[in-house]
Amino acid sequence: MADKTLDTKGLQCPMPILKAKKAIADVPKGGTLEVLATDPGAVADFEAFCRTTKNTLVEHSEDAGVYRFLIKHTAP
């Protein structure tokens, strides 16, 4: 179970990323943020987000048009 869940369903790029950037600051280092999104571009966006912020994309999945990302807060 994630430390925090962020529901960005219905939002288009760049809003899910901007909201995730803010939300992960409230997650303790080593904790996880679960993000739910419906924008198909979110897959590439969250992969890039984790690369550039030095957080870890633990997993991502898709079910009935809802994309789920689990991000571990590992950034300095």
Given 2, 11, 13, 36, the catalytic residue: 13
Helix (H) or strand (E) holding 61: strand 56-63
Q: How far does Cα 47 stand from its chain's mean position?
A: 9
> Is 13 tagged catalytic?
yes
**Residue tagged 């924008």 (tokens):** 39
User: Which residues form the catalytic set?
Assistant: 13
